[in-house]
Structures are given as structure tokens and as C-alpha cells.
Structure 1
């Protein structure tokens, strides 16, 4: 028979596996919320964030003279162990849970308390020495610990997501340099427009990503403001004066980020604005990457009856029935990630608007939504970069053919021939299936020198020296 220990709470006694670091409230959560199968430890940064918050709180309580030195020392060691990646298998609560995150907070309190007890030479469950509520939750409430832990987790992972996004943007810029000499037709509303270079097109992809990354960096600042010290609703009941500011200072020291206490703890406890703002920047990244992915799919259509200006790397056979078909699987994957992230942002919006009065009980689904989006982008962007963008090649002859056949270059002749004349040329070229240059030469409207000057690639694409 498996060894157990007995723990009790408000509702009665429970048998806990003797080797478990979690306690009775975690066990109740495991019984109540078996929903998604996705546990807190699915996101290592989330577990680490709890340890960071509890470490900062313990040190702050020590500074204000409330926590005993021997208990503080043991709690510090326990938190550091979790921050180093140990004991993550004990953070078991389902990410979906009622109670505004109470189960997740108590899971952290119980695990850290029992780790600390062992470090003091005591047994698990000997809470007379270190107690999950009185010591690990000292001067705290789930209502300030839980959102702060989510803030910290998102900050930690945002650095990783932005790094991958930057590498992807750099890949687009490298392709932009590689393709900068290749003239092609630009298109607006799916129709031929005016010439550009393939390099300009890829640099534009890169700059769009640069802007999305900048928005993520700026929105991270909203997460720096935390409500530690708010306790239940923002009034600070049970927290020692001076604790809140010291806790934020400790968070800043541990993370290396400018974490600070909110100016209004009641507002910070009831409002989800920080999550809404940050989630919006993730959605913006999704919209940007989805648009780019769709453009790449369009540019690679073919090979015989599509645009076919670029080749995407062939990664796998594309059809179980059509021989020789190869599909744009990486842009398709990225599009699906983007669709999911956009949907997650909608979830954040609905959950954020629906919290009642002094607390939003739907923070768990907000945490799930944003962390999932971060994780999906973190894992998919390097695949997109390595398996797609880095291997793209250009079909120069195809692009040259389109340039020669397009009526779009007629726009460059407006300054000399006038809008009315060039419109007639465009119409005639389409009706007779001829190129613009072919008609100009037939009608002797311009000399070869004039044609060369007006249709100079650098001039047409805005790259002439000034």
C-alpha cells in the first residue's frame, strides 16, 4: 500500500501521497478541475514566475520585520530551486480553474512550503515550522499573487518570442538584399500596378515584422506594473506598511525588469488592461505574419498556371492523389498559428470585460490564451524561418516576362505622354495582347534613349541616387 500523509483544510481531511510536495488544497483542485489536461508545469516560465513572486514577497516581508530569518532562509532556497527548474513536476493544477487562480496559488504555496521544510530538516506536512498560508502567503492574496505571476511569466517569455521574431525579420531582410536587383511587377487589389524589386517586397515583409516587434516591446511595459500588496481587493488588508514597494523592488531586482507597484491597487486588481494591451500586440504579430504568409503562398502559386515568381522549399509531397504536387506547408502552418492567436486575443477581450467589480475571476483563461499564443509563435517562427524563408529562391525569367507584358509600366510614361495617351496605350495593349513597349516602338512615340531613361529600373522603383 502506498504511503500517505493526512492533511486537513476547511472542508475536512485528505490523504496525500507521502512523497508529494503539494498538499490538500492542490489535491482538491486536481479532483475538481480535470479539464484540459494542460497543467501549470506545461509552461516552465509560469512555474518560475510563481517562485519569483514568492521569493520577492518573502524577502519583502523579511525587510519589514515580519518574517523570521530561519523561515526566510528556507523559503529563499526553495524558491531558488524551483527557479532553477527543480520540482516543476509538483505544479499540477489544470490551467482552467474556477476561483480566480486560488488553486494555482495554493499549489505554489504548498509545494514551496514542503520544499522549505525539507531544507530545514523537517518532514513534509510539518506546517508548524513553515505554513503554506501564514508563511508562503504572508501579506498576500491570490488576487495579487496570481496576476503578478502571470505578468512575470509573460515578461519572461516575451523576451524569447521577440528574439525569434527578430531572427525571422532578419531573414526577410537578408532575402531583400539578395533579391534587390530583381525587377518585378507590384500588384494592388490583385491587379498589375507598377514595377518594384523583389528585394523591396521582402524588405517590406521584414519592416512589417520590425514594427510588430516594437509594438510587443512597448506593450510589455504594461506588464511591469503589478498589484503586489493589494491583497484581496486593493486595500492592502493584512499586508505590512511598506511591504508593497519592497516587494516590487525585489521583483525588479530578481527579473532585471523595471517592475513597480501600481499607483492605484484597487484599479490594478479589478482591471485587466495590461493583459488586453499585451495580448493586442501578440494579435498584431499574428495579423502581420498571416498577411506575409498569404502573400508568399500567392507569389509561389503555380508552377504552370499561377504567379510563380518565387519558389518555396519543397518539404513533402503535397497530395495523396495528384502526382508531383508540392504544397506551401510552412506558410499554411504559420497562418493557422496566427488564426489561433487572433482567436486567443478575442478570448482575452471577452474575459477581461466580464469581470465583476473589484476582481476578475476569469484571469485563468486569460493566462491560458496569452501563454498559448506566445508558445505557438516561439515554436513556429524558427520553423518558418529555417524551413521556408531561408530557402526561398526567385524565378527571374518569370518576373521579367511579366514586366515586359504588363501594362503597369505605362504609369512611368505619364510625365511625357500624359494620362490620356497612356490610358489609350494600356487599353490597346490589352485588346491586341501586345506589350506597352512594343506599341510605343510601333507608333514611334518615344526614342530608345527616352524609353531607357523613363523605364530605368532604379527610377521606377524609387532607388535612384538623390
Structure 2
């Protein structure tokens, strides 16, 4: 039923706020008349507001819920469990959700108990109330179309929430995979630009034999290519779902048929190739393996990207802090983009620990999947942004400081390794020490001391030859 009540409004006096009253086992509760959620969602908002981050901030999860509820409505019609009029209204609402509408109607906190029960309730109530409108009824008129009896028919949180989480991760990974590909291309482009430019490859932070700068950038692109492949593998593991693990409301003799029909419709709705877990009983309360594996792969990528950032930062530090090889970007000598990516990596590594503990701790039934999905979503979203930041804000403008590299390489103690067979170890180490102390080049000292003829020395110290030998 609907009524109008008076509520105080801070320092502006009062205003009339339209509300409707809904009932549950605990009693009645006023709900703002304009919202699509219902009494159980409102109680979750009132009692379990932890992070201040509502699930509306995770559009992939909301869209995945819309896919599942639409597929369930279709399956229930096919099984004769739901009439087509109600099903059509539910399906139309789910399509609105998947188009980006009604997302602001999902206010429950992303961290919640009950293994995601509040999320499933929120979806059921929003879909029910919008479907009621489409059928010409008012919100809350659940005797016409009920959140549990019709929208949640043949489902439970035990299969809806884990499946929605897996679909949400697959959808989110698509964006991360694209971002990694963009960064891979940026490193490849930078490697092509650096052809013929050399630098002394450091060993224990000391100069060593020169290698092509191109090789350093290509190492990063190859690293990303390998990580990209591992992330694709992890994405495929997420496509095994447990829908039908608890078929509430469906005739038990049709439970296997429901599972197959439901998966068929979900494949059609989502466009994803999905399989049903071999053991639904085990998949529902216990199996977080795909989430743990995904988190491990994300940590691997984070560690590799953070290491790459460290390797890019030090060579650009300049004479005051080390050997300068590259200019990060014009007009800004502080490596802030690299530092941002480092911090994202630290977060992802911390999230992996959180996910590990959440997966391990659930007793008999994993109640902590909301925290797992929250942590994974942050890792995926932030990693995608970090990859794009590196590609668009750093690599696009990074350049080799060829003059600094040339000067550094000419004085590098690593160059004397090529002279050992020709002037002897004692003379070579003496020249290296003198070059380090005086700042003079290796070639200059060798010629001055008459250790080699000029033409022979030039051939031995040819940087391109040295780099080619290192490949």
C-alpha cells in the first residue's frame, strides 16, 4: 500500500516525502516511493553499511545478475513453472538493467554476510518492482509478481551469486586484457624506436657489457604477452558455473533438465561459452579455486609491471642519483606515473592475501565471496587503468638519452671485458679503474698507454658488435 508521510529536513524545515509501506517477517517498513528496491534491501542498507561502496559501483556484477535472472525466467517458462506474461515483464526489466538502466537502484554494500544474499535480494526486488510497473501495477504490489516466488524462481543465492561473480570477472577481464594489449603494443613500438641505441646492461647496479636498448623494451613486451596468455587461461576457468545447485521452487524430477535449460539460455543471453560444474554439491559451498587462481595471475602481472616500472625509473634518474639512459617525459622529471603503477601493484598483492584468507576461512559454506569479488574487482579495474596510464602517459613520450648513453658506455668498466684476450686481465682492470676514477673513456686510456693500435681498438669496442654478440 502507498501513503504520504512527513519527514524532517535538516535546517530547511520539512517537506513531504512520498513513501510506500512493505511488510516482511520482522514487520513493516517505510520505503521511498520512487525507489525500485524493497523492504529486505532497505533492511540490508540500514543494518550492513560497511564500506560505503554500493554494488551499483560494479556494473559488470549488476549486468551479470540481469543475465542470470533473464535466463532463469526463460527456463522457467520452458518448464511450465512461470507464465509468459510475468516472464516477459521480468525479461524486459533484465534487458533494461543490461543496457545500463536501474543500476542506481542497487544500494546494498559490497561487503555483506550471507554469501551475497543481500545482492540477490536487491536484484529480485528491483526486477520485481520494475516488472510490476511494466504490467501496470504499483511498486510493492507483490501479489501480482513476487521477488522470491517469480523473479527468484528455481534459484537461490547459493547458485546465483557465485555464477554472477564469475560472469562479472569474465566481463571485467575483457577490459584488462585489452589494456594489457595496448601496453604490449606501446612497448613494442618503443623497442622499434630504440633500434641501434645501446646502453651498458647493469649487473649488481654496475655497468656491464653494452646491449641494445631495444632489447630492454622488448623484454617487457614479451613479459606482457606471456601474462596475457595466463590471464586468458584464468578467464576460461571462470566459465564453469554452478547454476541449478539449489533448485528451489522447481519440481525435483526436473532439476537436471532445469540446469541444462538454464545454462543454454544463459549462454544465449551472455554470449559466453559456459559449462556446468561436474559436482554441483561441491561447487556451491566449497569451490573458490577459480577465484584463487585468478588472483594469483593478477598478482603475477602486478609484480612484473612493478618490476618494469622500477627498471624504467632508475635509468632515468640522472647524474645525481645514477646512470641516466632515458628521459621519461618532457617538462616533468618526477616519475609519478611509475609510482602510481607501483602502488596499484602493492594493492593487488594485498588483495591476493585477502582473497586467499576469504577462500580458506569459510566454514562448510563460503560466506566470504562478497569480499573475494570486491577484491578481485578492484584488482582488475585498477590494473587496467595502470596499464593504460603506462601506455598513454609514459611510453608515448619516453625517449633515449643517446648522448648520456654514449658517454656512459665509453667509460663503462664493462667494455674492458672485450679487451681481456688482447691486452690481458691486469692491464684491462687497470684501465677500467683509471676510467672510473678520472671519467675518461676506455678508448682514450688504451690509446694513450699504447696498449692497442687505434684501428684494432675501434673494432674491438664497436658497440653494435658487442650488442650483436649479446643477442
Mark yes or no: TM-score above 0.5. yes
Corresponding residue pairs, total: 450
Does 1:382 pair with 2:388? yes
Q: Cα RMSD (Å) of the superposition? A: 2.4
Listed as ranges, the matches of 1:168-247 within 5 Å are 168-231=183-246, 240-247=255-262
Judging changes above 3 Å, is the alpha-carbon distance between structure 1 residues 131 and 391 closer, same or farther for their aligned structure 2 residues? same
* Contact in 2 for aligned 1:4/1:16 (Cα 8 Å): yes
Listed as ranges, the matches of 1:255-404 within 5 Å are 255-269=270-284, 270-314=286-330, 326-357=333-364, 359-404=365-410
Q: SS where residue 340 of structure 1 aligns?
A: helix
Of the candidates 154, 164, 182, which is equivalent to residue 139 of structure 1? 154
How far apart are the structure 2 equivalents of 1:407 and 1:239?
77
How far apart are the structure 2 equivalents of 1:450 and 1:361?
74
* Contact in 2 for aligned 1:74/1:117 (Cα 8 Å): yes
* Contact in 2 for aligned 1:50/1:149 (Cα 8 Å): yes
How far apart are the structure 2 equivalents of 1:305 and 1:16?
62
Deviates more, 1:26-35 or 1:431-440: 431-440
Listed as ranges, the matches of 1:120-131 within 5 Å are 120-131=135-146
How far apart are the structure 2 equivalents of 1:175 and 1:293?
15
Judging changes above 3 Å, is the alpha-carbon distance between structure 1 residues 140 and 413 closer, same or farther for their aligned structure 2 residues? farther
How far apart are the structure 2 equivalents of 1:237 and 1:306?
71
Q: SS where residue 276 of structure 1 aligns?
A: helix
Deviates more, 1:284-293 or 1:452-461: 452-461
Q: SS where residue 243 of structure 2 aligns?
A: coil
1:200-257 deviations in Å (ceiling 9; x for gaps): 1112122212222221111101110111111289xx9797331112222222222222
Q: Give runs of ≥4 in structure 1 deviating > 6 Å.
A: 236-239
Of the candidates 73, 95, 109, which is equivalent to residue 94 of structure 1? 109
Judging changes above 3 Å, is the alpha-carbon distance between structure 1 residues 178 and 81 closer, same or farther for their aligned structure 2 residues? same
Judging changes above 3 Å, is the alpha-carbon distance between structure 1 residues 430 and 78 closer, same or farther for their aligned structure 2 residues? same
* CA displacement at 1:437 relative to structure 2: 3.4
Does 1:153 pair with 2:159? no
* Contact in 2 for aligned 1:231/1:239 (Cα 8 Å): no
1:36-74 deviations in Å (ceiling 9; x for gaps): 111111121121111011112222222333222112111
* Contact in 1 for aligned 2:211/2:470 (Cα 8 Å): no
Q: Name 2:41's counterpart in structure 1.
A: 26
Q: Name 2:63's counterpart in structure 1.
A: 48
Q: Name 2:98's counterpart in structure 1.
A: 83
Judging changes above 3 Å, is the alpha-carbon distance between structure 1 residues 181 and 229 closer, same or farther for their aligned structure 2 residues? same
Deviates more, 1:399-408 or 1:6-15: 6-15
Q: SS where residue 361 of structure 1 aligns?
A: coil
Judging changes above 3 Å, is the alpha-carbon distance between structure 1 residues 314 and 43 closer, same or farther for their aligned structure 2 residues? farther
* Contact in 1 for aligned 2:431/2:446 (Cα 8 Å): no
| TM-score relative to the length of structure 1 | 0.90
Q: SS where residue 16 of structure 1 aligns?
A: strand
Of the candidates 412, 424, 433, which is equivalent to residue 430 of structure 1? 433
Q: SS where residue 209 of structure 2 aligns?
A: strand
1:103-154 deviations in Å (ceiling 9; x for gaps): 0110001101111111111221121222111111111111111111111111
* CA displacement at 1:439 relative to structure 2: 4.9
How far apart are the structure 2 equivalents of 1:453 and 1:200?
22
Q: Name 1:461's counterpart in structure 2.
A: 467
* Contact in 2 for aligned 1:262/1:268 (Cα 8 Å): yes
* Contact in 1 for aligned 2:223/2:304 (Cα 8 Å): yes
Q: SS where residue 97 of structure 1 aligns?
A: coil
How far apart are the structure 1 equivalents of 2:89 and 2:273?
27
* Contact in 1 for aligned 2:74/2:265 (Cα 8 Å): yes
How far apart are the structure 1 equivalents of 2:331 and 2:143?
61
Judging changes above 3 Å, is the alpha-carbon distance between structure 1 residues 232 and 342 closer, same or farther for their aligned structure 2 residues? farther
1:252-284 deviations in Å (ceiling 9; x for gaps): 222222111111112222111010111111111
Q: SS where residue 199 of structure 2 aligns?
A: strand
How far apart are the structure 1 equivalents of 2:133 and 2:223?
52
* CA displacement at 1:81 relative to structure 2: 0.4
Q: Name 1:71's counterpart in structure 2.
A: 86
**Gap runs ≥5 in structure 2:** 1-15
Does 1:405 pair with 2:405? no
How far apart are the structure 2 equivalents of 1:71 and 1:454?
83
* Contact in 1 for aligned 2:419/2:428 (Cα 8 Å): no
